[in-house]
Amino acid sequence: MKTKTPWHSGKMICVAVFFIAAIVTLVAIAIVQNKPLEQKYKYGIVLDAGSSHTAMYIYEWPAEKENNTGMVGQRHKCKVKGKGISSYAREVAGAGRSLAMCMEEAKQCIPAAKHQDTPVYLGATAGMRLLMKQDRNSAVKVMEAVQQTLQASPFSYQGARIISGQEEGAFGWITVNYLGKNFQKAAGTMGALDLGGASTQITFVSKETIQSPDNAMEFRLYGNDYQVYTHSFLCYGKDQVLKLALEKKLKSADTSLEDPCFHTGYSEDKLFQKVFDSPCVQAVSTDAMNKSFMHKGSGNFIECQNSIKDIFNFSQCKNSQCSFNGVYQPPVEGTFGAFSAFYFVMNFLNLTGQSLADTKKGMEHYCQTPWNTIVENHPKVDKKYLAEYCFSGTYILTLLENGYNFTSENWKDINFIDKIEGSNAGWSLGYMLNLTNMIPAEAPDTPLMPHGGFVTLMLFLTLFLLILLFLGYTFLGRPSCLPPKEIV
């Protein structure tokens, strides 16, 4: 007598084939679905036309994640050779030409197929704001020249304009908080301190209701409302402040000037024109402009600080409190990112992580070091920068402590930063994010789990059910719906 097992029955073979086919299909689908999607990148270009120089930034981001915070990163930075575009007032075509090399780099860096869809923006800051005051006609022509160069590139030209001080401050704040992924954190945002050559910006969220509309900016980002205090001080960038400081010390009849903000042994013949060529200082006669004076250092931090205090007006304030020059400012709150020249100078001086008292001691020591020692110790550093670090560091300390009212308690809340997650801190990223609508007002709906995770989970659950079914069949006997075993 032979017993025919169910495995030999046509029905069971059929079921088994279906089971196996189903598992193979599921595994295949899961593998295909989970294969990392070929990342499609998008690109954007921003030219930061500063008073001292222009920098081109190329940003990139995965196309399908453009509304997630922190997804846009800096792919490449190109420094334009030569000075800022405002220095081309007398030879405007040169401003356009100066950008050509960086635009060429952009063509190499961004895949050709993407050129047409890559937006390019140029934003000019305080150098051009000053030229606009001094010589409007030339300023307009400089902007036209840079516009022409950008329009001639294969990228999608989106505009070249002089941005306002409020925009410069606010977009710097957006950049640091976007890169720090702070917009979706409960911990709050970080203030932004930007020091340029011709202006400086302070931007932060204050508990206090902003008392002057010029200093208030409102944003709704990722479902949260932010009221931001911002102010840009034109002429208080470090290059213009040096002119303001020299103007205070120089009399038109002087042939030499002893300056505590420069090192002993430093001595340089300078034209009056170098000091008085800016709308930030009082004009002098053409005669006086052509004279020169011997700029000599005496290297004394305390005296330097006292001389720098003279360029701030601390006396008048129409609001509950002010920073300086009658500008309303609520008390500083929270942590701050201090970038651009704040970082360059304090990083050079090795004073980015010290207490306020130690920072002052460090400055005192640095300023009294003789010029020849400084030159010997830093043979590779550009002499122009090198000569000015004592002045710039002292100005930074004075601006932060006496201007913005940072104290020895909250000094540690200032972080001197160059980059966050590989991208430079500055207004340019925030500017592009804003213009491309990449920061949504409301938080995007996020699925419970990523797609890949979902497919994997479904696969495991299905396998688990199949195993249960199989075990159920072998241990508990055949379901009653199957035909009874035939005994032959």
Ligand X SMILES: Nc1ncnc2c1ncn2[C@@H]1O[C@H](COP(=O)(O)OP(=O)(O)O)[C@@H](O)[C@H]1O
Out of 239, 366, 398, 414, the only residue in the binding site for ligand X (CB under 6 A) is: 239
| Contact flag: residue 165 with ligand X (CB under 6 A) | no
Determine contact, residues 419/339, Cβ cutoff 8 Å: no
- Shortest Å, Cβ 341 to ligand X: 4
Catalytic residue among 91, 168, 268, 364: 168
- Shortest Å, Cβ 432 to ligand X: 17
**Residue 238 or 263: which CB sits closer to Ca ion?**
238
Stretch that binds Ca ion, among 46-54, 146-154, 342-350, 430-438 (CB under 5 A): 46-54
Determine contact, residues 74/429, Cβ cutoff 8 Å: yes
Q: Which two tokens stand for residue 250?
A: 């120089």
Residues 188, 204: Cα–Cα separation, whole Å: 11
Task: Name the residue type at position 185.
Answer: K
**Residue 85 or 414: which CB sits closer to ligand X?**
85
Out of 43, 45, 49, 50, the only residue in the binding site for Ca ion (CB under 5 A) is: 50
- Shortest Å, Cβ 169 to ligand X: 11
**Residue 55 or 289: which CB sits closer to ligand X?**
55
Stretch that binds ligand X, among 234-242, 249-257, 267-275, 435-443 (CB under 6 A): 234-242
Instruction: Give every CB contact of residue 184 below 8 A, 6+ residues apart in sequence.
Output: 69, 222, 443
CB atoms < 10 A from the CB of 288, how many? 14
Determine contact, residues 42/73, Cβ cutoff 8 Å: no
Determine contact, residues 295/384, Cβ cutoff 8 Å: no
- Shortest Å, Cβ 429 to Ca ion: 13
| Contact flag: residue 172 with ligand X (CB under 6 A) | no
* Residue 303 annotated in active site: no
Q: How many residues bind ligand X (CB under 6 A)?
A: 21
Q: Is 191 annotated as a binding residue?
A: no
Q: Is 200 annotated as a binding residue?
A: yes
* Residue 161 β-bridge partners: 123
Residues 336, 230: Cα–Cα separation, whole Å: 13
Residues 156, 127: Cα–Cα separation, whole Å: 26
| Contact flag: residue 189 with ligand X (CB under 6 A) | no
Task: Name the residue type at position 38.
Answer: E
**Residue 175 or 307: which CB sits closer to Ca ion?**
175
| Contact flag: residue 120 with ligand X (CB under 6 A) | no
Determine contact, residues 404/356, Cβ cutoff 8 Å: no
Angle of CA points 71, 72, 75, to nearest 5°: 130
Note the residues at the interface with Ca ion (CB under 5 A): 50, 196
Note the residues at the interface with ligand X (CB under 6 A): 50-53, 84, 125-127, 196-199, 237-239, 340-341, 344-345, 348, 385
Q: What residues act catalytically?
A: 168
